[in-house]
Structure 1
Amino acid sequence: MSRSILITGANGALGLAIAEFFLAREGDCRVFLGVRERRDRAEELAARLPDRTALISLEVTSPDAWKAAVADIEAHGGPLSVLVNNAGFHEDALLANMAQDQWSRVLDANLNAVFHGCQAALPAMMRQRQGRIVNIASLSAISSPAGQTNYSAAKAGVIGLTQSLAKESARMGITVNAICPGYIEGGLPPEWTPEHLKALKMQLPMRRFARPEEIAAAVFFLASTDASYITGTTLKIDGGLL
């Protein structure tokens, strides 16, 4: 059966890699690229595969935008089968100096957005008695660095949400899992210097950052029928960084 797959944050390196992974390996799926303002790379992918991909305008912090997006998907691709909550960002500062809106923006984009997305996706999945939700958390959720109290708290919240929702939805054939990536090529802050990047790689047993497609492979597996007995798990993908 053809599946409709929604990926948020679909203009970034990881979002695009996840989309391409599904498109390459699941020949009859429809992939919907959730984007807000930046959409140039997502538009390129949709132009290459117009019959199998479509852009969905989605402000992930808005419940109404989520409802509209899911309705749009159902109208054009059938019931939503897979949701990948990938959108998010960080805005780092020491807690003593962190402005209230820095805290609120990061919590809203990284945690509240996942709540809104899961709540919007569940009705269609419950009707089908099956579904896959994969939430992209972060290594910062379980190994929190200084300067990221807002981001770490939000991503830790995503893990807690994942575990609780997995228990609520398991009997309906819906699995909910989280992935905690480490550093990803193409997803690092542009202001980081080559010296800083080299120092970070030296902390990793593999001495390299993850390729986006390596994270995408894990998302694809968790969304597959082969992972039908895996729910509530948090998968750390960080090249051995403990």
Structure 2
Amino acid sequence: MTDKVLALVTGASRGIGRAVAERLARTGHKVIGTATSESGAAAIREALQAIDPANDGIVLNIADAAQTAEALKAFLDQHGTPEVVVNNAGITRDNLFLRMSDEEWEAVINTNLSGVFRVCKAMVKPMLKQKSGAIVNVSSIIGTTGNAGQANYAAAKAGLEGFTRSLAQEVASRNITVNCVAPGFIKTDMTDVLPEAQKEAILATVPCKRLGQAEEIAAAVAFLASSDAKYITGQTIHVNGGMNMG
């Protein structure tokens, strides 16, 4: 048994998701992190259990409706209703629009938007019965600004923010908040491999003149998941070094 606050973090094996999971684990949460593979689940399990043995990692593929339903039922049966749900899992399939295939479009929409719907569908009903909770969806600056070669990703993230506002209105009376954090360009495995010229071009658009850190996104997520943010709902917090102000 534990008196820690239960949190589910999807896409937690690396990057922003891992930073979020570890931040919550260090701030009074029992964290269950997810990955799409057994090896990914093992990696997050090892990292989180180094903080507290009560934490765990599980396999969850939010692109697969049947697997998601089964895995989340098992999660609820084993751990109970979470107080915090962080929807971070997502993919990219970048291509210029005229070259973008149906598969590239549908894969991104299915994972980044429909996948969040599936997770929320499983979690919201027990959270309503619990009459408390915080859902934090990880969006992107691209959902606001758009980006050449990412029509699918931009559409999914813009849709995610609209979904967040709508769900927030439906569950607010039960003391459940639903918000987004929208990162700008963050230093991760994906940005580490970019050519220097591309990195310099990106930095030229960032008033803070640096890439963000995954831990800075985790801090924003942790705030929205905390009791300090109980009167904030339906919002998108932009963490982008000034790339987009509005």
State the TM-score, normalized to the length of structure 1. 0.94
Q: CA RMSD in A?
A: 1.6
Q: Is the Cα–Cα contact under 8 Å of residues 8 and 33 in structure 1 kept in the other structure?
A: yes
What percentage of residue pairs aligned between the two structures are identical?
Answer: 35
Deviations 1:59-114 (A, max 9, x none): 11233333333333333333221110000011111111111101010111110101
Distance in 2 (alpha carbons) for counterparts of 1:187 and 1:232: 30
Q: In the alignment, is residue 67 of structure 1 matched against residue 72 of structure 2?
A: no
Q: Please list, as runs of the form range in 1=range in 2, the aligned pairs for 1:1-242 lying within 5 A after superposition.
A: 2-26=4-28, 29-37=29-37, 39=40, 41-49=43-51, 51-189=53-191, 191-242=193-244
Structure 1 residues 32-41 or 219-228, which shifts more?
32-41
2:134 partner SS: strand
Shift of 1:50: 5.4
Question: Which structure 2 segments of 5+ residues have no match?
Answer: none
Shift of 1:47: 4.3
Structure 1 residues 136-145 or 199-208, which shifts more?
199-208
Q: Is the Cα–Cα contact under 8 Å of residues 23 and 218 in structure 2 kept in the other structure?
A: yes
2:233 partner SS: coil
Q: Is the Cα–Cα contact under 8 Å of residues 30 and 77 in structure 1 kept in the other structure?
A: no
Distance in 1 (alpha carbons) for counterparts of 2:143 and 2:189: 17
Deviations 1:17-36 (A, max 9, x none): 0011111121xx21001111
Structure 1 residues 10-19 or 58-67, which shifts more?
58-67
Distance in 2 (alpha carbons) for counterparts of 1:155 and 1:41: 27
Kindly provide the amino acid, as one letter, of the partner of residue 164 in structure 1: S
Q: Is the Cα–Cα contact under 8 Å of residues 141 and 153 in structure 1 kept in the other structure?
A: yes
Shift of 1:204: 0.7
Aligned length, in residue pairs: 240
Q: Is the Cα–Cα contact under 8 Å of residues 5 and 81 in structure 1 kept in the other structure?
A: yes
Q: Is the Cα–Cα contact under 8 Å of residues 62 and 116 in structure 1 kept in the other structure?
A: no
Distance in 2 (alpha carbons) for counterparts of 1:64 and 1:125: 21
Deviations 1:130-179 (A, max 9, x none): 11100001100000011111000011000010000000111111110011
Distance in 1 (alpha carbons) for counterparts of 2:191 and 2:209: 19
Q: Is the Cα–Cα contact under 8 Å of residues 33 and 55 in structure 1 kept in the other structure?
A: yes
Kindly provide the amino acid, as one letter, of the partner of residue 7 in structure 1: V
Deviations 1:181-220 (A, max 9, x none): 0011115355421221122112211111111110000100
Q: Is the Cα–Cα contact under 8 Å of residues 22 and 48 in structure 2 kept in the other structure?
A: no
Distance 1:81 1:67, change over 3 A: farther
